[in-house]
Structure 1
Amino acid sequence: MAAVPSHPAARTAVRRPSVVARTGLYAVLAANAVVVGVFFVQAGFGSNALVLLGRLTGLYGALLMAFQLLLVARLPWLDRRIGMDRLTSWHRWVGFGLLWTLLGHAVFLTLGYAQMASMDPVNQLVDLAGTTEGVLRALVALALLVVVGAVSARRARRRMAYETWHFVHLYTYVAVVLAFTHQVAVGTTFTASSAATAYWYTLWGGSLTALAVGRLVLPLWRNWRHRLRVTAVVPENDQVVSIYVTGRDLDRLPARAGQFFLWRFLTRDRWWQANPFSLSAAPDGRTLRLTAKAAGDGTAALRHLKVGTRVFAEGPYGAFTAMHRTRPEALLIAGGVGVTPIRALLEELDGHSVVVYRVATDRDAVLYDELRDLAHAKGAELHLVTGPPVPDRLAPAELARLVPDLADRDVFLCGPHPMMTAVLGTLRALGVPKRQIHFERFSLAG
């Protein structure tokens, strides 16, 4: 353990960026919900309650679909304040809401028109699909969303490779196009007034533009500008390797310690694979470093990358940064290879820090020598905690003994999912306020 007198207190944020961003998103959604309701009322009411419910659920389904696109657009302002993991999780739950809303739209309209025409619902649906422009496209869109929703259920998602899940998920964009053309063709509210028409075109145009900018234009622009290449591959142990990447004008790349990129190494057999790896050193304007543990054939092959390999990196992403500090002092808790963003954060943070590094054995302590030297240079405390998962070496009594003032610190946590869940329970038991706990789960599929 290294311990040196603390640095002067760091400046902390007055307004929490995550609260500002969440409040902004909620306000945007609420305002649009009100606008949609107003246009619905202005379009007039029919005589059939089921048709009325069908129209209303369809309108709010369209709004949720546009909102979903915004959540996964990976816009830097939102991502830095909320984090890709939380935005992806919200996207997932909004997606299930969207699915039920659109199912309600189809069911209510079919039953309502069947009631008005004195037909059975199946024949009514067939008739609508064959005679009304846009209905067949809407049914195809709904079927695609049902498939995407089914593979997004947790049980199905765990049994599926990310690449397979991602390929199926791409059909959501086909569903979006089909749903929009359906709304243009038969949406009574869409054509009820010029203001309503302008609103819906603006809503869809804004959402699709945000998606194109965040997912396509910005990554292409940054990679064209920075021209990233591998400059060194350094094994840290038998399973972990550090990769150094450099390029042009990296001092203008808005990356911070704690963030991650989606890395594509442009070799013949890996160019199509994107993996989320955190920066394991604070960006210095000249070099980026990632440190990865072998978790399959793809990641195991990283140690064989050749110097000069071109790199396509999407990002930086993530809200696991010092931007969200609320206290002048910090506690950094790392588990296993989760030490990579923690090591980078320690390099950037001002004020006194305590680092707790949890591993099974001393040999698993990746980057420990760097952590020790960095802790000594910055006047931080470093605790290496070893041993099997049971008994829990970071249970409330043990963590309180290591860091008696932890309730007065910001806590940054990164590690394997079971360890993070256990530590979050410990922090709650010790009364650490939720606003002082910062963590991010690196899962592209939520």
Structure 2
Amino acid sequence: MTTIDLPPAMASAASPATRPRVAPRPVPRWWRDASVTAFWLVLLFVTALWVAHGGVQDLGSLSGALTSVGRLTGLVASALLLVQVFLMARIPWFEQAWGQDELARTHRLVGFTSFNLLWAHIVLITLGYAAASTLGLWGTIVDFVLNYPGMLLAVAGTVALCLVVVTSVRKARRRLRYESWHLIHLYGYLGAGLALPHQLWTGQEFLASTASTVFWWSLYAACAASVLVFRVGLPLVRSLRSPLRVVAVHEEAPGVTSVVVGGPGVAALRPAAGQFFQWRFVDGPGWTRANPYSLSAAPDGQHLRVTAAHVGEGTRRLAALRPGTRVLVEGPYGRLHAGVRTRQKVLLMGAGIGITPIRAMLEDLEQGPGDVVVVHRASSRDQLVHGRELVELAGARGARYVTVEGRRVPGRDTWLPASAAHLSDAEALAQLVPDVAERDVFLCGAPAWMDAARRAALACGVPAAHIHLERFEY
């Protein structure tokens, strides 16, 4: 394991701490508890409505049992579909409580659960009606689709949701460009919208009482309002009121580009170092597709800088941007910032292009000599993105900077290079940072690398609540 270990030095007069700094506000823990409580209350109320409208009494016959359980699975699937929309609507309180990383993973779990329940609903309802009908199975299916109000729209909505789910399977996801996957994923909104008429026109549980009707209409209206306000309206108003433009474009290394953005809108965004935005650079066809890039420098109230490796069409376009290009942003997002810090001592670990938010946090964190350790993982010396800046920042801020270089250990899920294959992940981390158990740990890098680093930190005694990470692949 090849390392460069720069010991902490006393902060110099050139320390970045002298620049204007906006301290991120701590995130109230009760926001998270309140959102979980609201989630379970929605499911509990949906089930209570089913019971109140005879769901249990209908279980006495085969057709009644199939139809009744089918209605329940449909209700829960509908509620979970709307929960999915809430999770990814960029609602500030949810986002700050959970972070995009956990929201996206929860969104994925809820999505697959909702999809399975949707198909259970379709199968059970069809079998239940067929058992009580003389039309038979296929006749019942045709009767459903052609003669029940809103069913053709529901079928189209189901097809749209199937497209979203199939492309969300990890093997399929990896074969798609981010831009293509993101565009297909928007069909989820179409699927939810097309299912609405069927539910409100023919769904027994939607029409059985005033309370049911008010509940479901309110839930759909709240979801639509959340998307329109937080994913469309707020970013649009900010971008129009306080425009941002590209100030400079720099090549950091072959295949790595930094973009500096400035304008009157920077100060209004109030981002924290380590957070990310969804960026749209209005430079020609394809500008409507947003890409998530983390800040690679602490915000100074006048400029924002992002750094990205060229891994797709969106990132490759950054190198061709020209000063003056209009910029639209959504955010800031993410919990990889000082506002979630719980300890004075901090370990910042970044791999590859994941070092960018780590570099911004190093510049911004309040710290004394030795409080912060940075571990920078790269496959070779020339791939240490922002390496020179990190050396200078560590020296100025009194931090310790360690680089870990070399190709990864083949055939092993690890955060280490092959030269350290004789060590376990936890042993290597403990050697580099002996007091790691006393620190908050912030991680950013490829998903497999972060998983390995997180396991190593846990094995070294770091409580899970003190490990913070950000994923951009789910």
User: 1:13, 1:325 within 8 Å by CA — same for their partners in 2?
Assistant: no
Q: Which residue of 2 aligns with 1:414?
A: 444
User: 2:77, 2:118 within 8 Å by CA — same for their partners in 1?
Assistant: yes
Structure 1 distance, partners of 2:351, 2:156, is 46
Instruction: Report deviation, 1:213.
Output: 1.4
Candidates 430, 435, 441, aligned match of 2:471? 441
Name whichever of 285-294 and 385-394 sits farther off: 385-394
Name whichever of 357-366 and 50-59 sits farther off: 357-366
| Secondary structure of the structure 1 residue equivalent to 2:322 | coil
Q: Which residue of 2 aligns with 1:9?
A: none
Q: Which residue of 2 aligns with 1:39?
A: 49
Candidates 312, 316, 324, aligned match of 2:332? 316
Amino acid at match of 1:245: V
- TM-score of the aligned structures, taking structure 2 as reference length: 0.87
The answer to whether 1:342 aligns with 2:347 is no
Q: Which residue of 1 aligns with 2:152?
A: 136
**Alignment: residue pair count:** 439
Amino acid at match of 2:46: V
* Cα 1:63–1:24 shift into 2, 3 Å: same
Q: Which residue of 2 aligns with 1:76?
A: 92
Name whichever of 418-427 and 343-352 sits farther off: 418-427
Structure 2 distance, partners of 1:296, 1:117, is 54
Q: Which residue of 1 aligns with 2:434?
A: 404
* Cα 1:81–1:110 shift into 2, 3 Å: same
Q: Which residue of 1 aligns with 2:18?
A: none
Q: Which residue of 2 aligns with 1:428?
A: 458
Structure 2 distance, partners of 1:269, 1:52, is 50
Q: Deviations over 1:260-281 (max 9, x none)?
A: 1122211124523422211011
What 5-or-longer segments of structure 2 have no aligned partner? Answer: 1-5, 12-22, 409-417
Q: Which residue of 2 aligns with 1:168?
A: 184
* Cα 1:96–1:298 shift into 2, 3 Å: closer
Q: Which residue of 2 aligns with 1:188?
A: 204
Q: CA-atom RMSD, angstroms?
A: 2.3
Q: Deviations over 1:195-239 (max 9, x none)?
A: 221111111111111121121111111211221101111222222
The answer to whether 1:126 aligns with 2:142 is yes
User: 2:35, 2:94 within 8 Å by CA — same for their partners in 1?
Assistant: no
Structure 2 distance, partners of 1:165, 1:298, is 13
User: 1:2, 1:372 within 8 Å by CA — same for their partners in 2?
Assistant: no
Amino acid at match of 1:37: T
Structure 2 distance, partners of 1:261, 1:119, is 55
Candidates 384, 388, 404, aligned match of 1:369? 388
| Secondary structure of the structure 2 residue equivalent to 1:30 | helix
Amino acid at match of 1:362: R
Structure 1 distance, partners of 2:393, 2:306, is 17
Aligned pairs for 1:16-31 (under 5 A) are 17=28, 20-31=30-41
Structure 1 distance, partners of 2:253, 2:171, is 34
Amino acid at match of 1:367: H
Instruction: Report deviation, 1:285.
Output: 0.8
Instruction: Report deviation, 1:120.
Output: 1.8
Amino acid at match of 2:400: E
User: 1:66, 1:204 within 8 Å by CA — same for their partners in 2?
Assistant: yes
What 5-or-longer segments of structure 1 have no aligned partner? Answer: 7-11
Structure 2 distance, partners of 1:232, 1:304, is 11
Amino acid at match of 2:84: Q
User: 1:336, 1:415 within 8 Å by CA — same for their partners in 2?
Assistant: yes
Q: Deviations over 1:338-389 (max 9, x none)?
A: 1110011112212311111122332222222221222222211111222332
The answer to whether 1:381 aligns with 2:400 is yes
| Secondary structure of the structure 2 residue equivalent to 1:24 | helix
User: 2:246, 2:261 within 8 Å by CA — same for their partners in 1?
Assistant: yes
Structure 2 distance, partners of 1:337, 1:61, is 38
Amino acid at match of 1:24: A
User: 1:412, 1:439 within 8 Å by CA — same for their partners in 2?
Assistant: yes
User: 1:322, 1:345 within 8 Å by CA — same for their partners in 2?
Assistant: yes
The answer to whether 1:117 aligns with 2:127 is no
Structure 2 distance, partners of 1:358, 1:364, is 9
* Cα 1:125–1:422 shift into 2, 3 Å: same
Amino acid at match of 1:441: R
Instruction: Report deviation, 1:288.
Output: 0.4
* Cα 1:158–1:186 shift into 2, 3 Å: same
* Cα 1:13–1:105 shift into 2, 3 Å: same
Structure 2 distance, partners of 1:160, 1:294, is 16
Amino acid at match of 1:29: F
| Secondary structure of the structure 2 residue equivalent to 1:391 | helix
* Cα 1:207–1:329 shift into 2, 3 Å: same
Instruction: Report deviation, 1:245.
Output: 0.5
| Secondary structure of the structure 2 residue equivalent to 1:83 | helix
Q: Which residue of 1 aligns with 2:166?
A: 150
Amino acid at match of 2:328: F
User: 2:26, 2:339 within 8 Å by CA — same for their partners in 1?
Assistant: no
Candidates 294, 301, 304, aligned match of 1:288? 304
Structure 1 distance, partners of 2:162, 2:286, is 31
Instruction: Report deviation, 1:5.
Output: 6.1
Amino acid at match of 2:97: R
| Secondary structure of the structure 1 residue equivalent to 2:8 | coil
Aligned pairs for 1:222-371 (under 5 A) are 222-351=238-367, 352-371=371-390
Instruction: Report deviation, 1:291.
Output: 1.2
Structure 1 distance, partners of 2:253, 2:170, is 33
User: 1:137, 1:182 within 8 Å by CA — same for their partners in 2?
Assistant: yes
Candidates 3, 8, 15, aligned match of 2:8? 3
User: 1:330, 1:410 within 8 Å by CA — same for their partners in 2?
Assistant: yes
* Cα 1:26–1:296 shift into 2, 3 Å: closer
